[in-house]
Amino acid sequence: MDDLRLTERDVTSQDAKIAAKNVQVYYGDTHAIKDVSVEIKDKTVTAFIGPSGCGKSTFLRCLNRMNDTIDICRVEGDIRIDGEDIYDKRIDPVQLRAKVGMVFQKPNPFPKSIYDNIAYGPRIHGLAKNKADLDVIVEKSLRRGAIWDEVKDRLNAPGTGLSGGQQQRLCIARAIATEPEVLLMDEPCSALDPIATAQVEELIDELRENYSVVIVTHSMQQAARVSQKTAFFHLGNLVEYGETGQIFTNPSDPRTESYITGRIG
Amino acid sequence: MTDASMDAAGAPDAPKKSSLMKTDEHTKKRNRSETWFRAYGLAAIATGLFFLIVLAVSIVSNGLPAFTHTVVDVEINMTQDQYDDAESQLLKTSAYEKVFIAAMGAQLAAGGLELEVDKKVLQRIAGKTGSILREFYKENPDKIGTPVSFTLPAASRVDQYLNGALKREDVQDSRFLERADLDIVDQLHEAGIIKSAFNWTFIQGTDSGVDNPGGAGIGASVIGSFFMMLVVLFLSLPIGVAASIYLEEFAPQNRFTDLIEVNISNLAAVPSIVFGILGLAVFIQFMHLPQSAPLVGGLVLTLMTLPTIIISTRASLKAVPPSIRDAALGVGASKMQSVFHHVLPLAMPGILTGTIIGLAQALGETAPLLLIGMVGFVARGYPDGFVNGFIEPNSAMPAQIYTWAARADVSFYDKAWGGIIILLVFLLTMNTIAIILRRRFERRW
Ligand SMILES: Nc1ncnc2c1ncn2[C@@H]1O[C@H](COP(=O)(O)OP(=O)(O)O)[C@@H](O)[C@H]1O
Ligand SMILES: [Mg+2]
């Protein structure tokens, strides 16, 4: 099975984890994403930037089919992860979301203990055979979420009792506990102070070793700091996509330049 | 952009200097209106409290007499001859009454009470002693020939006289009571032969005939209410919660579900008597379920309670932040897992509160029960057995209260008030449980 996928991946594209072609998204009559095509590489941090309301979150939510939960939302086009069309009828979005984890803008830990927050995903996916396995997964995830040292003595305390930055790192740890291959982050630092932001950014950089990370951010400094690839969205269009350094120093589209220099937005 | 706005704020037009020590007109006006609003609020609460206190005082003062009754202590030694004699007579209970009167007379003489008491007077004071004695000796024939102390309820008018409900001036001479009898009542009361005791019959007993207010009890209808509420609980909670979860979390938003939603809200506003006549038509006339049965009452009240439960459950599901659902879906939980593992536990306090309030409403509901016949002389006995509790004719607390209040004999009026106290005790208990559950579930986080 795995082998099959590997060969398939080789055939379709060299190291593109996600390939989106001609994606259109409508909210009722609103055309929110207009014909976007993009290839997101494996083991890379890709940043989506753009003025608010331009469709960054909408596009991000297409990648794990979270838009399915919005009744009026309609997605057209072709999005493939490892060459498999995720909008295919045979794909179960629940299974997809185990493979494509998500971290939300507002930290949203479950109102349960820190331990249960992390253990929930592995439990429902049957990743642990017994309590000892689960303990290992919880510790590993919390360590990779760079929050283990802060919470190891109070794993039974409620996750909602942590500070905002800790909660967000808990949510990241929760997202990676299910061993996803792609991690989607929608403005993960917008509710955090500069110190917590720095911790999360450091964490994102480490996560790149194992995951393909897509991060939406409204801070261009953040995009410049953490990402290798940047996509600039404007009014539902993907205006420019390329190496982060090139986008920030030498954008080819005047709209990108206006945005980066602070004239749009 | 932010820089620009900072500049604008940094160089304002020099405003007129005004001292903060002086309250300006505008602020004064705002403060005045706030003061007024506070006054209105306090007045509203005070009015509410006043009526609540009036209600509580009148219920307690009117209802308490139902919990005590006047009893006559007497020791009777029934011989076998007396028993056989009484049983051979045409009017058997009056023969027993004679035995009672003789025993009373002997007791008064032994107590040194110099009373010239007429038999008739004792009969009027003591009420329906004959039938009680006869029942006792028929059930306990072995007690014949040994002295037994009886505590027999006095006539209900004597009861009213002693607890102050009946004034001496108001007594009309009749075959039930004459004004002169009251002197003897007073003397017997002083001597401790007639005294006040807690009325267990009222708590445990069943409904009595219209001529025997003293023997009326609410016990059987409490049982009736209990079985009815069991039906309501076990039907309306699962149906209501399942319907709400489906509508709120799973159903698509379209014309059809909108229509259902509007109809549920409308159902909640339908007068209960409409549900009663529906129950009569559907459950009794069409489905031929037994009349006056708590099962039917429960079914009707379930229909009535469902909208309440559905509305409150949906409100508490709506109140769960959507970010929790996103979080669950985001780690790959299915819709159902996200609802049952995360949303439902958070909505639980609200659901329980809504359910218990719905049940409390149903417990106090009278009108639909009148239509399906749970009123009148149906609470004359206890059901035998659990299953029969659902199908044997019975009354329910509010219907029993209604029956008593509607009877001609004013002595039943006390019983109605007493019944209201019992009903309120149950309602307060349920509300307290609702509050405790709410606290318990909320305290977890
Ligand atoms: N649930 C929704 N229903 C209707 N319109 C929406 C919804 N979510 C987003 N939109 C619209 O889609 C557009 C893109 O929104 P979004 O993707 O949230 O922008 P961004 O994340 O870039 O700020 C906006 O015009 C917004 O109004
Ligand atoms: Mg957004």
Secondary structure (DSSP) of B234-293: HHHHHHHHHHHHIIIIIS--SHHHHHHHHHHHHHHTS-HHHHHHHHIIIIIIIT-PPTT-
> Quick count: other Cβ atoms within 10 Å of Cβ B118?
13
Residue A9: is its pLDDT beyond 80? no
Q: Is the pLDDT of residue A12 over 60?
A: no
CA distance A213 to chain B (A): 15
Q: How confident is the model at residue B400 (pLDDT cuts 50, 70, 90)?
A: very high
pLDDT at residue B403 greater than cutoff 60: yes
Lowest mean pLDDT across A23-32, A113-122, B123-132:
B123-132
Structural domain contains residue A36: no
Q: Give the CA radius of gyration of chain B.
A: 32
For range B405-418, the mean pLDDT: 86
Mean pLDDT of B361-378: 89
Q: Which residue is closest in CA terms to ligand 1's atom 11? A: A32
Q: How confident is the model at residue B1 (pLDDT cuts 50, 70, 90)?
A: very low
- Among A178-192, B89-103, B286-300, the range scoring the smallest mean pLDDT is B89-103
Looking at every residue in chain A, the average pLDDT score rounds to: 89
The per-residue pLDDT for B2 is 44
A109 to chain B: which residues are within 8 Å by CB?
Answer: 327
Instruction: For residue A1, name the pLDDT band (cuts at 50, 70, 90).
Output: very low
Q: What is the pLDDT of residue B445?
A: 52
Q: Which residues line ligand 1 (CB under 6 A)?
A: A 27, 30, 32, 50, 52-58, 70
Percent of chain B with pLDDT over 90: 42
CA A21-A27-A33 angle, 5° bins? 30
Asked if residue A51 belongs to a domain, the reply is no
The larger pLDDT score, comparing residue B415 to residue B35, is at: B35
Domains of chain B, residue spans: 65-198, 219-441
Q: Phi/psi of residue A66, each to 5°?
A: -70, -20
pLDDT of the residue at B114: 62
Of B329, B342, B346, the CB nearest to A97: B329
Does some domain include residue A142? yes
Q: Is residue A91 in a domain?
A: no
CA distance B440 to chain A (A): 15
Report d(CA B115, CA B135) in Å as an integer. Answer: 30
How many domains are contained in chain A? 1
A130 is in which domain, residue-wise? 109-179
pLDDT on residue B443 = 58
Q: Are A56 and A231 in contact (CB under 8 A)?
A: no
List, edge to edge, every strand of the sheet that includes B68-77: B147-153, B68-77, B194-198
Specify if A187 maps to a domain: no
Q: Considering the domain B219-441, what is its CATH architecture? A: Orthogonal Bundle (1.10)
Ligand 1: residue whose CA is nearest its atom 14: A55
Ion ligand 2: protein residues whose beta carbon lies under 5 Å = A 57
pLDDT confidence of residue B12: 54
Give the pLDDT score at A33.
95
Q: Is the pLDDT confidence value at A83 over 70? A: yes
User: How many CB contacts within 8 angstroms connect chain A with chain B?
Assistant: 71
Average of per-residue pLDDT across A113-126: 94
Q: Are the CB atoms for B262 and B255 separated by under 8 Å?
A: no
Residue of B nearest to A102 (CA): B330
pTM over 0.90: no
Q: Is B332 in the A-facing interface, judged by CB distances under 8 Å?
A: yes
Query: Looking at residue B115, what is its pLDDT?
Result: 63
Instruction: State the average pLDDT over residues B335-356.
Output: 92
The share of chain A scoring above pLDDT 90, in percent, equals 71
Tell whether A19 is covered by a domain: no
A126 interfacial to chain B (CB closer than 8 Å): no
- Residue A124 belongs to some domain of the structure: yes
For residues B130 and B248, give the distance between their C-alpha atoms in angstroms, rounded to a whole number. Answer: 65
A102–B330: do the CB atoms touch at under 8 Å? yes
Q: Please state the rounded mean pLDDT for residues B191-197.
A: 82
**Residue A3 has what pLDDT?**
43
